[in-house]
Protein backbone atom coordinates (compact mmCIF):
# COMPACT_ATOMS: atom_id res chain seq x y z
CA UNK A 1 0.00 0.00 0.00
CA UNK A 2 2.91 2.36 -0.62
CA UNK A 3 1.87 5.81 -1.66
CA UNK A 4 2.09 6.34 -5.42
CA UNK A 5 2.95 10.00 -5.22
CA UNK A 6 2.68 10.82 -8.90
CA UNK A 7 -1.06 10.28 -8.69
CA UNK A 8 -1.77 12.83 -6.04
CA UNK A 9 -3.78 15.14 -8.26
CA UNK A 10 -5.81 12.45 -9.91
CA UNK A 11 -9.21 13.61 -10.97
CA UNK A 12 -11.83 11.36 -12.43
CA UNK A 13 -11.33 9.64 -15.75
CA UNK A 14 -13.12 10.81 -18.85
CA UNK A 15 -13.41 8.49 -21.80
CA UNK A 16 -12.41 10.19 -25.05
CA UNK A 17 -12.55 9.07 -28.66
CA UNK A 18 -8.74 9.34 -28.88
CA UNK A 19 -8.18 7.18 -25.81
CA UNK A 20 -10.59 4.56 -27.10
CA UNK A 21 -9.09 4.48 -30.59
CA UNK A 22 -5.60 4.04 -29.18
CA UNK A 23 -6.81 1.30 -26.82
CA UNK A 24 -8.58 -0.63 -29.56
CA UNK A 25 -5.57 -0.27 -31.83
CA UNK A 26 -3.32 -1.70 -29.13
CA UNK A 27 -5.73 -4.56 -28.43
CA UNK A 28 -6.00 -5.47 -32.09
CA UNK A 29 -2.20 -5.38 -32.38
CA UNK A 30 -1.97 -7.65 -29.32
CA UNK A 31 0.22 -5.14 -27.47
CA UNK A 32 -0.34 -6.42 -23.96
CA UNK A 33 2.07 -4.11 -22.17
CA UNK A 34 0.63 -0.98 -23.77
CA UNK A 35 -2.93 -2.03 -23.01
CA UNK A 36 -2.04 -2.89 -19.44
CA UNK A 37 -0.41 0.50 -18.91
CA UNK A 38 -3.47 2.24 -20.30
CA UNK A 39 -5.90 0.52 -17.94
CA UNK A 40 -3.93 -0.35 -14.82
CA UNK A 41 -4.80 2.78 -12.85
CA UNK A 42 -8.44 2.96 -13.88
CA UNK A 43 -11.36 2.49 -11.52
CA UNK A 44 -13.66 -0.47 -12.19
CA UNK A 45 -16.44 1.94 -13.20
CA UNK A 46 -14.18 3.41 -15.89
CA UNK A 47 -13.27 0.01 -17.25
CA UNK A 48 -16.97 -0.86 -17.38
CA UNK A 49 -17.54 2.32 -19.39
CA UNK A 50 -14.83 1.20 -21.79
CA UNK A 51 -16.36 -2.30 -22.06
CA UNK A 52 -19.55 -0.66 -23.29
CA UNK A 53 -17.67 0.50 -26.37
CA UNK A 54 -15.80 -2.73 -27.10
CA UNK A 55 -16.82 -5.96 -28.77
CA UNK A 56 -16.75 -9.15 -26.72
CA UNK A 57 -13.25 -10.23 -27.84
CA UNK A 58 -11.76 -6.84 -27.07
CA UNK A 59 -13.45 -6.84 -23.66
CA UNK A 60 -12.09 -10.31 -22.95
CA UNK A 61 -8.58 -9.13 -23.80
CA UNK A 62 -8.82 -6.59 -21.01
CA UNK A 63 -10.62 -8.88 -18.60
CA UNK A 64 -7.78 -11.39 -18.70
CA UNK A 65 -5.44 -8.69 -17.36
CA UNK A 66 -7.48 -7.85 -14.29
CA UNK A 67 -7.11 -9.45 -10.90
CA UNK A 68 -10.21 -11.24 -9.63
CA UNK A 69 -11.39 -8.44 -7.35
CA UNK A 70 -11.13 -5.77 -10.04
CA UNK A 71 -12.76 -8.07 -12.60
CA UNK A 72 -15.66 -8.62 -10.20
CA UNK A 73 -16.03 -4.88 -9.63
CA UNK A 74 -16.12 -4.27 -13.38
CA UNK A 75 -18.89 -6.85 -13.81
CA UNK A 76 -20.93 -5.07 -11.13
CA UNK A 77 -20.57 -1.75 -12.93
CA UNK A 78 -21.58 -2.99 -16.38
CA UNK A 79 -24.96 -2.15 -17.90
CA UNK A 80 -27.36 -5.09 -17.58
CA UNK A 81 -27.27 -5.91 -21.32
CA UNK A 82 -23.51 -5.79 -21.56
CA UNK A 83 -23.22 -7.92 -18.43
CA UNK A 84 -25.46 -10.63 -19.81
CA UNK A 85 -23.52 -10.67 -23.07
CA UNK A 86 -20.25 -10.78 -21.18
CA UNK A 87 -21.24 -13.49 -18.67
CA UNK A 88 -22.61 -15.67 -21.47
CA UNK A 89 -19.09 -15.89 -22.86
CA UNK A 90 -17.57 -17.15 -19.59
CA UNK A 91 -17.81 -20.67 -18.09
CA UNK A 92 -20.01 -20.92 -14.95
CA UNK A 93 -17.22 -22.13 -12.66
CA UNK A 94 -15.19 -19.05 -13.57
CA UNK A 95 -18.19 -16.82 -12.94
CA UNK A 96 -18.53 -18.39 -9.51
CA UNK A 97 -14.89 -18.31 -8.45
CA UNK A 98 -13.67 -15.15 -10.12
CA UNK A 99 -16.68 -12.92 -9.81
CA UNK A 100 -19.35 -14.02 -7.36
CA UNK A 101 -16.87 -15.06 -4.67
CA UNK A 102 -15.31 -11.60 -4.79
CA UNK A 103 -18.51 -9.56 -4.61
CA UNK A 104 -20.54 -8.23 -1.73
CA UNK A 105 -23.53 -10.50 -1.20
CA UNK A 106 -26.02 -7.86 -2.39
CA UNK A 107 -24.20 -7.25 -5.67
CA UNK A 108 -23.83 -10.99 -6.22
CA UNK A 109 -27.54 -11.55 -5.58
CA UNK A 110 -28.49 -8.69 -7.93
CA UNK A 111 -26.42 -10.15 -10.72
CA UNK A 112 -27.60 -13.71 -10.19
CA UNK A 113 -31.15 -12.38 -10.11
CA UNK A 114 -30.73 -11.43 -13.78
CA UNK A 115 -29.84 -14.98 -14.84
CA UNK A 116 -31.96 -18.09 -15.40
CA UNK A 117 -32.70 -20.38 -12.44
CA UNK A 118 -30.64 -23.27 -13.77
CA UNK A 119 -27.64 -21.07 -14.36
CA UNK A 120 -27.94 -19.62 -10.84
CA UNK A 121 -28.00 -23.09 -9.28
CA UNK A 122 -25.00 -24.14 -11.29
CA UNK A 123 -23.06 -21.03 -10.37
CA UNK A 124 -23.89 -21.32 -6.69
CA UNK A 125 -22.74 -24.93 -6.64
CA UNK A 126 -19.34 -23.66 -7.76
CA UNK A 127 -18.93 -20.97 -5.11
CA UNK A 128 -16.00 -21.86 -2.89
CA UNK A 129 -17.05 -19.96 0.21
CA UNK A 130 -20.04 -21.71 1.82
CA UNK A 131 -20.98 -18.71 3.93
CA UNK A 132 -21.12 -16.50 0.84
CA UNK A 133 -23.20 -19.08 -1.04
CA UNK A 134 -25.78 -19.31 1.73
CA UNK A 135 -25.91 -15.52 2.19
CA UNK A 136 -26.63 -15.16 -1.54
CA UNK A 137 -29.30 -17.86 -1.48
CA UNK A 138 -30.97 -16.06 1.43
CA UNK A 139 -30.90 -12.73 -0.40
CA UNK A 140 -32.32 -14.22 -3.59
CA UNK A 141 -35.51 -15.03 -1.66
CA UNK A 142 -36.42 -11.38 -1.23
CA UNK A 143 -38.34 -9.36 -3.79
CA UNK A 144 -35.83 -7.12 -5.55
CA UNK A 145 -38.00 -4.06 -4.93
CA UNK A 146 -37.86 -4.37 -1.14
CA UNK A 147 -35.30 -3.62 1.54
CA UNK A 148 -34.45 -7.34 1.58
CA UNK A 149 -33.60 -7.18 -2.11
CA UNK A 150 -31.42 -4.11 -1.63
CA UNK A 151 -29.52 -5.14 1.47
CA UNK A 152 -26.17 -6.83 1.77
CA UNK A 153 -25.14 -9.07 4.63
CA UNK A 154 -21.64 -7.62 4.98
CA UNK A 155 -21.73 -5.70 8.22
CA UNK A 156 -19.93 -5.39 11.48
CA UNK A 157 -22.01 -6.07 14.57
CA UNK A 158 -21.08 -6.28 18.23
CA UNK A 159 -22.88 -7.46 21.33
CA UNK A 160 -24.11 -4.72 23.65
CA UNK A 161 -22.73 -6.58 26.65
CA UNK A 162 -19.16 -6.63 25.43
CA UNK A 163 -16.40 -4.43 26.76
CA UNK A 164 -14.81 -1.93 24.42
CA UNK A 165 -11.66 -4.04 24.22
CA UNK A 166 -13.51 -7.18 23.09
CA UNK A 167 -15.51 -5.00 20.77
CA UNK A 168 -12.49 -3.55 18.98
CA UNK A 169 -10.89 -6.97 18.71
CA UNK A 170 -14.09 -8.30 17.15
CA UNK A 171 -14.43 -5.34 14.80
CA UNK A 172 -10.91 -5.91 13.53
CA UNK A 173 -11.75 -9.55 12.88
CA UNK A 174 -15.01 -8.81 11.05
CA UNK A 175 -13.69 -5.81 9.14
CA UNK A 176 -11.14 -7.78 7.14
CA UNK A 177 -13.81 -9.06 4.74
CA UNK A 178 -15.61 -5.79 4.30
CA UNK A 179 -14.80 -2.95 1.92
CA UNK A 180 -15.68 -0.09 4.16
CA UNK A 181 -17.30 0.38 7.54
CA UNK A 182 -19.29 3.45 8.44
CA UNK A 183 -21.23 2.13 11.41
CA UNK A 184 -20.97 -0.77 13.75
CA UNK A 185 -24.33 -2.29 14.70
CA UNK A 186 -25.07 -3.22 18.29
CA UNK A 187 -27.25 -6.25 19.00
CA UNK A 188 -28.34 -8.14 22.09
CA UNK A 189 -27.86 -11.85 22.79
CA UNK A 190 -30.79 -12.71 20.49
CA UNK A 191 -29.29 -10.72 17.60
CA UNK A 192 -32.01 -8.09 18.05
CA UNK A 193 -30.81 -4.69 16.80
CA UNK A 194 -30.29 -2.39 19.80
CA UNK A 195 -28.30 0.52 18.42
CA UNK A 196 -25.31 1.74 16.47
CA UNK A 197 -21.80 2.63 17.34
CA UNK A 198 -20.25 5.24 15.11
CA UNK A 199 -16.57 4.89 14.39
CA UNK A 200 -16.14 8.41 15.63
CA UNK A 201 -17.51 7.47 19.03
CA UNK A 202 -15.33 4.39 19.04
CA UNK A 203 -12.26 6.53 18.46
CA UNK A 204 -13.25 9.03 21.11
CA UNK A 205 -14.40 6.55 23.77
CA UNK A 206 -12.58 5.80 26.94
CA UNK A 207 -11.25 2.25 26.73
CA UNK A 208 -12.93 1.30 30.02
CA UNK A 209 -16.40 1.84 28.54
CA UNK A 210 -18.96 -0.85 27.79
CA UNK A 211 -20.55 -1.08 24.34
CA UNK A 212 -24.00 -0.51 25.82
CA UNK A 213 -22.92 2.79 27.32
CA UNK A 214 -21.37 4.35 24.24
CA UNK A 215 -23.85 3.09 21.65
CA UNK A 216 -26.62 5.20 20.23
CA UNK A 217 -29.98 3.50 20.68
CA UNK A 218 -31.83 5.97 18.45
CA UNK A 219 -31.42 3.82 15.40
CA UNK A 220 -33.75 3.97 12.42
CA UNK A 221 -34.27 0.63 10.70
CA UNK A 222 -36.53 -0.86 8.05
CA UNK A 223 -38.02 -4.33 7.70
CA UNK A 224 -36.96 -6.77 5.00
CA UNK A 225 -40.28 -6.25 3.21
CA UNK A 226 -40.24 -2.44 3.22
CA UNK A 227 -40.64 -1.27 -0.43
CA UNK A 228 -37.48 0.20 -1.92
CA UNK A 229 -39.17 3.51 -2.70
CA UNK A 230 -39.88 3.89 1.01
CA UNK A 231 -36.29 2.92 1.82
CA UNK A 232 -35.10 5.69 -0.50
CA UNK A 233 -37.45 8.21 1.09
CA UNK A 234 -36.32 7.28 4.61
CA UNK A 235 -32.61 7.47 3.78
CA UNK A 236 -33.09 10.74 1.96
CA UNK A 237 -35.24 12.28 4.68
CA UNK A 238 -32.91 11.36 7.51
CA UNK A 239 -29.69 11.82 5.49
CA UNK A 240 -28.49 8.29 6.23
CA UNK A 241 -25.43 6.65 4.73
CA UNK A 242 -26.39 3.14 5.79
CA UNK A 243 -29.66 1.73 7.05
CA UNK A 244 -29.98 -1.54 9.00
CA UNK A 245 -32.62 -4.05 7.91
CA UNK A 246 -34.38 -6.24 10.47
CA UNK A 247 -36.82 -9.14 10.29
CA UNK A 248 -40.36 -8.92 11.72
CA UNK A 249 -39.14 -9.50 15.29
CA UNK A 250 -36.25 -7.06 15.03
CA UNK A 251 -33.29 -9.34 14.37
CA UNK A 252 -30.55 -7.73 12.31
CA UNK A 253 -30.51 -9.25 8.81
CA UNK A 254 -28.43 -6.84 6.75
CA UNK A 255 -27.68 -3.25 5.83
CA UNK A 256 -28.44 -1.02 2.87
CA UNK A 257 -25.83 1.48 1.70
CA UNK A 258 -26.60 4.85 0.17
CA UNK A 259 -25.02 4.05 -3.21
CA UNK A 260 -27.63 1.34 -3.84
CA UNK A 261 -30.34 3.77 -2.87
CA UNK A 262 -29.00 6.45 -5.20
CA UNK A 263 -29.60 3.93 -7.97
CA UNK A 264 -33.17 3.42 -6.73
CA UNK A 265 -33.75 7.17 -6.70
CA UNK A 266 -32.35 7.51 -10.23
CA UNK A 267 -34.39 4.61 -11.51
CA UNK A 268 -37.61 5.90 -9.96
CA UNK A 269 -36.98 9.33 -11.45
CA UNK A 270 -36.23 7.79 -14.83
CA UNK A 271 -39.35 5.66 -14.71
CA UNK A 272 -41.56 8.66 -13.98
CA UNK A 273 -39.77 10.68 -16.63
CA UNK A 274 -40.26 7.96 -19.21
CA UNK A 275 -43.93 7.55 -18.30
CA UNK A 276 -44.63 11.25 -18.77
CA UNK A 277 -42.83 10.97 -22.12
CA UNK A 278 -44.89 7.97 -23.22
CA UNK A 279 -42.33 5.22 -22.78
CA UNK A 280 -42.81 2.10 -20.67
CA UNK A 281 -40.22 -0.30 -19.33
CA UNK A 282 -36.83 0.99 -18.54
CA UNK A 283 -35.05 1.54 -21.79
CA UNK A 284 -31.68 3.09 -22.37
CA UNK A 285 -31.08 5.63 -25.16
CA UNK A 286 -29.91 3.10 -27.71
CA UNK A 287 -31.23 -0.28 -26.75
CA UNK A 288 -31.98 -2.66 -29.56
CA UNK A 289 -34.74 -1.69 -31.94
CA UNK A 290 -37.31 -4.28 -30.82
CA UNK A 291 -37.03 -3.42 -27.16
CA UNK A 292 -37.45 0.27 -27.87
CA UNK A 293 -40.42 -0.43 -30.12
CA UNK A 294 -42.10 -2.49 -27.43
CA UNK A 295 -41.59 0.29 -24.88
CA UNK A 296 -43.14 2.96 -27.07
CA UNK A 297 -45.80 1.35 -29.22
CA UNK A 298 -48.46 0.85 -26.49
CA UNK A 299 -48.53 4.58 -25.75
CA UNK A 300 -48.70 5.43 -29.41
CA UNK A 301 -51.68 3.09 -29.70
CA UNK A 302 -53.40 5.01 -26.92
CA UNK A 303 -52.80 8.13 -29.01
CA UNK A 304 -54.12 6.38 -32.11
CA UNK A 305 -57.30 5.20 -30.42
CA UNK A 306 -57.74 8.70 -29.01
CA UNK A 307 -57.31 10.09 -32.51
CA UNK A 308 -59.95 7.74 -33.88
CA UNK A 309 -62.37 8.74 -31.12
CA UNK A 310 -61.54 12.37 -31.86
CA UNK A 311 -62.36 11.73 -35.53
CA UNK A 312 -65.83 10.43 -34.52
CA UNK A 313 -66.41 13.47 -32.32
CA UNK A 314 -65.55 15.78 -35.22
CA UNK A 315 -67.56 13.54 -37.57
CA UNK A 316 -70.72 14.49 -35.70
CA UNK A 317 -70.13 18.08 -36.76
CA UNK A 318 -69.41 17.40 -40.46
CA UNK A 319 -72.23 19.66 -41.72
CA UNK A 320 -71.09 22.45 -39.44
CA UNK A 321 -67.57 22.13 -40.87
CA UNK A 322 -68.84 22.13 -44.44
CA UNK A 323 -70.57 25.46 -43.71
CA UNK A 324 -67.75 26.91 -41.62
CA UNK A 325 -64.49 25.21 -42.60
CA UNK A 326 -62.58 27.88 -40.67
CA UNK A 327 -63.65 26.08 -37.51
CA UNK A 328 -61.13 23.37 -38.39
CA UNK A 329 -58.27 25.87 -38.19
CA UNK A 330 -58.28 25.92 -34.40
CA UNK A 331 -58.77 22.23 -33.75
CA UNK A 332 -55.01 21.65 -33.25
CA UNK A 333 -54.73 24.69 -30.96
CA UNK A 334 -57.52 23.52 -28.67
CA UNK A 335 -56.28 19.94 -28.61
CA UNK A 336 -52.68 20.98 -27.94
CA UNK A 337 -53.62 23.36 -25.12
CA UNK A 338 -55.83 20.74 -23.48
CA UNK A 339 -52.97 18.27 -23.64
CA UNK A 340 -50.34 20.70 -22.34
CA UNK A 341 -52.40 21.91 -19.41
CA UNK A 342 -53.36 18.36 -18.46
CA UNK A 343 -49.75 17.18 -18.45
CA UNK A 344 -48.63 20.19 -16.42
CA UNK A 345 -51.23 19.57 -13.72
CA UNK A 346 -50.89 15.81 -13.59
CA UNK A 347 -47.12 15.71 -13.61
CA UNK A 348 -46.77 18.07 -10.68
CA UNK A 349 -49.17 15.92 -8.68
CA UNK A 350 -47.37 12.72 -9.66
CA UNK A 351 -44.06 14.24 -8.66
CA UNK A 352 -45.47 15.43 -5.36
CA UNK A 353 -46.87 11.98 -4.63
CA UNK A 354 -43.55 10.36 -5.54
CA UNK A 355 -41.42 12.43 -3.21
CA UNK A 356 -43.99 12.73 -0.45
CA UNK A 357 -44.10 16.51 -0.66
CA UNK A 358 -47.85 16.86 -1.01
CA UNK A 359 -48.33 16.71 2.74
CA UNK A 360 -51.46 15.79 4.58
CA UNK A 361 -53.96 18.21 3.19
CA UNK A 362 -54.18 16.86 -0.33
CA UNK A 363 -57.75 17.56 -1.25
CA UNK A 364 -60.13 20.54 -1.11
CA UNK A 365 -57.98 23.61 -0.60
CA UNK A 366 -55.34 22.34 -3.01
CA UNK A 367 -57.71 21.53 -5.84
CA UNK A 368 -58.95 25.09 -5.43
CA UNK A 369 -55.38 26.33 -5.69
CA UNK A 370 -54.92 24.46 -8.96
CA UNK A 371 -58.25 25.80 -10.22
CA UNK A 372 -57.02 29.31 -9.44
CA UNK A 373 -53.91 28.81 -11.54
CA UNK A 374 -55.99 27.41 -14.39
CA UNK A 375 -58.35 30.36 -14.22
CA UNK A 376 -55.54 32.90 -14.44
CA UNK A 377 -53.74 31.05 -17.23
CA UNK A 378 -57.01 30.43 -19.06
CA UNK A 379 -58.07 34.08 -18.89
CA UNK A 380 -54.68 35.33 -20.11
CA UNK A 381 -54.49 32.82 -22.95
CA UNK A 382 -58.05 33.22 -24.11
CA UNK A 383 -57.70 37.01 -23.87
CA UNK A 384 -54.60 36.85 -26.06
CA UNK A 385 -56.23 34.67 -28.69
CA UNK A 386 -59.34 36.84 -28.60
CA UNK A 387 -57.35 39.96 -29.45
CA UNK A 388 -55.47 38.14 -32.19
CA UNK A 389 -58.55 36.64 -33.81
CA UNK A 390 -60.59 39.84 -33.41
CA UNK A 391 -58.18 41.68 -35.70
CA UNK A 392 -57.23 38.82 -38.04
CA UNK A 393 -60.31 36.68 -38.53
CA UNK A 394 -63.50 37.80 -40.26
CA UNK A 395 -65.84 35.59 -38.27
CA UNK A 396 -66.82 36.97 -34.87
CA UNK A 397 -68.52 33.67 -34.08
CA UNK A 398 -65.20 31.91 -34.55
CA UNK A 399 -63.37 34.47 -32.41
CA UNK A 400 -65.83 33.99 -29.55
CA UNK A 401 -65.85 30.22 -29.97
CA UNK A 402 -62.07 29.88 -29.76
CA UNK A 403 -61.75 32.11 -26.69
CA UNK A 404 -64.65 30.66 -24.72
CA UNK A 405 -63.72 27.11 -25.48
CA UNK A 406 -60.02 27.71 -24.74
CA UNK A 407 -60.93 28.99 -21.28
CA UNK A 408 -63.26 26.05 -20.63
CA UNK A 409 -60.75 23.55 -21.92
CA UNK A 410 -57.93 24.92 -19.73
CA UNK A 411 -60.19 24.67 -16.66
CA UNK A 412 -61.39 21.15 -17.47
CA UNK A 413 -57.94 19.85 -18.42
CA UNK A 414 -56.42 21.16 -15.24
CA UNK A 415 -59.13 19.54 -13.12
CA UNK A 416 -58.73 16.19 -14.88
CA UNK A 417 -54.95 16.46 -14.59
CA UNK A 418 -55.15 17.10 -10.85
CA UNK A 419 -57.94 14.77 -9.95
CA UNK A 420 -57.07 11.64 -11.94
CA UNK A 421 -53.61 10.97 -10.44
CA UNK A 422 -54.93 11.69 -6.93
CA UNK A 423 -57.76 9.24 -7.50
CA UNK A 424 -55.47 6.56 -8.96
CA UNK A 425 -53.17 6.97 -5.98
CA UNK A 426 -56.06 6.51 -3.58
CA UNK A 427 -56.91 3.25 -5.37
CA UNK A 428 -53.27 2.14 -5.12
CA UNK A 429 -52.58 2.46 -8.86
CA UNK A 430 -49.25 4.08 -9.77
CA UNK A 431 -50.39 7.63 -10.62
CA UNK A 432 -47.51 8.08 -13.05
CA UNK A 433 -49.41 6.12 -15.71
CA UNK A 434 -51.91 8.98 -15.81
CA UNK A 435 -49.36 11.45 -17.14
CA UNK A 436 -48.12 11.81 -20.68
CA UNK A 437 -50.05 10.25 -23.56
CA UNK A 438 -52.92 9.01 -21.40
CA UNK A 439 -53.91 12.39 -19.96
CA UNK A 440 -53.07 14.10 -23.24
CA UNK A 441 -55.38 11.85 -25.21
CA UNK A 442 -58.22 12.14 -22.74
CA UNK A 443 -57.94 15.90 -22.73
CA UNK A 444 -57.66 16.07 -26.52
CA UNK A 445 -61.03 14.39 -26.89
CA UNK A 446 -62.60 16.47 -24.15
CA UNK A 447 -61.19 19.59 -25.83
CA UNK A 448 -62.62 18.73 -29.25
CA UNK A 449 -66.00 18.04 -27.76
CA UNK A 450 -66.11 21.33 -25.87
CA UNK A 451 -64.82 23.30 -28.86
CA UNK A 452 -67.29 21.93 -31.39
CA UNK A 453 -70.24 22.17 -29.02
CA UNK A 454 -69.48 25.77 -28.15
CA UNK A 455 -68.92 26.43 -31.87
CA UNK A 456 -72.40 25.17 -32.77
CA UNK A 457 -73.91 27.36 -30.04
CA UNK A 458 -71.98 30.48 -31.03
CA UNK A 459 -72.63 30.17 -34.77
CA UNK A 460 -76.30 29.97 -33.83
CA UNK A 461 -76.05 33.25 -31.89
CA UNK A 462 -73.65 35.44 -33.85
Among 105, 347, 405, 408, binds its own copies (CB under 8 A): 347
Our finding on whether 5 is near its own copies (CB under 8 A) is yes
CB-CB contact of 50 with 65 (8 Å): no
Q: Is the dihedral of CA 68, 74, 78, 82 positive or negative?
A: negative
Question: Least distance to its own copies from the beta carbon of 119, Å?
Answer: 26
What number of chain residues touch its own copies (CB under 8 A)? 151
**Pairwise CA distance, residues 394 & 373, whole Å:** 32
Helix axes 32-39, 56-63, angle to 10 degrees: 80
Our finding on whether 363 is near its own copies (CB under 8 A) is no
Among 54, 56, 265, 411, binds its own copies (CB under 8 A): 265
CB-CB contact of 447 with 409 (8 Å): yes
When the beta carbons of 134 and 352 are compared against its own copies, the nearer one is: 352
What part of residues 212-231 is at the interface with its own copies (CB under 8 A)? 212-223
Our finding on whether 118 is near its own copies (CB under 8 A) is no
Binding mask 241-260 for its own copies (x = CB under 8 A): x----x---x-------xx-
When the beta carbons of 1 and 461 are compared against its own copies, the nearer one is: 1
Question: How many beta carbons lie within 10 A of that of residue 100, not counting itself?
Answer: 28
When the beta carbons of 101 and 444 are compared against its own copies, the nearer one is: 444
What part of residues 43-72 is at the interface with its own copies (CB under 8 A)? 43, 45, 49, 52-53
CB-CB contact of 160 with 142 (8 Å): no
Our finding on whether 276 is near its own copies (CB under 8 A) is yes
What part of residues 188-207 is at the interface with its own copies (CB under 8 A)? 192-195, 198-200, 202-204
Binding mask 122-161 for its own copies (x = CB under 8 A): --------------------------------------x-
Stretch that binds its own copies, among 12-20, 22-30, 89-97, 141-149 (CB under 8 A): 12-20
**Pairwise CA distance, residues 8 & 444, whole Å:** 60
**Pairwise CA distance, residues 203 & 207, whole Å:** 9
Q: Tell me if residue 153 falls in helix, strand or coil.
A: coil
Question: Least distance to its own copies from the beta carbon of 118, Å?
Answer: 31
Instruction: List the strands of the sheet with 193-198, edge to edge.
Output: 157-159, 183-187, 193-198
Question: Least distance to its own copies from the beta carbon of 139, Å?
Answer: 19
Q: CB burial class (10 A; 0-12, 13-18, 19+) of residue 162?
A: middle
**Pairwise CA distance, residues 37 & 386, whole Å:** 70
Reported as type and span, the H/E element at residue 399 is helix 396-426
Question: Least distance to its own copies from the beta carbon of 228, Å?
Answer: 14
**Pairwise CA distance, residues 75 & 398, whole Å:** 64
Our finding on whether 298 is near its own copies (CB under 8 A) is no
CB-CB contact of 95 with 123 (8 Å): yes
Among 168, 433, 453, 457, binds its own copies (CB under 8 A): 168
Amino acid sequence: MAAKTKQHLKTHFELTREYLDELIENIEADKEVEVFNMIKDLHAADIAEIYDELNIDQARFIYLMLDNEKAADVVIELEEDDRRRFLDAIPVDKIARQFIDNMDSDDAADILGELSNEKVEEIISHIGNVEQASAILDLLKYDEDTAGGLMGTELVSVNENWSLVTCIKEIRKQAVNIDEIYYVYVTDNDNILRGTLSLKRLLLANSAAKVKNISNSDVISVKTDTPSEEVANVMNKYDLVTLPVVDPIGRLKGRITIDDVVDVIREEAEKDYQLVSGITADHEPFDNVWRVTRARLPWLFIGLVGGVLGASVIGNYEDQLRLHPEMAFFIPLIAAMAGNVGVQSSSIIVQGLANNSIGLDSSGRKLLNELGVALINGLILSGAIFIYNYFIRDSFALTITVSVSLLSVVLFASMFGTFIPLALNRFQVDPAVATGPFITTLNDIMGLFVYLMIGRLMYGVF
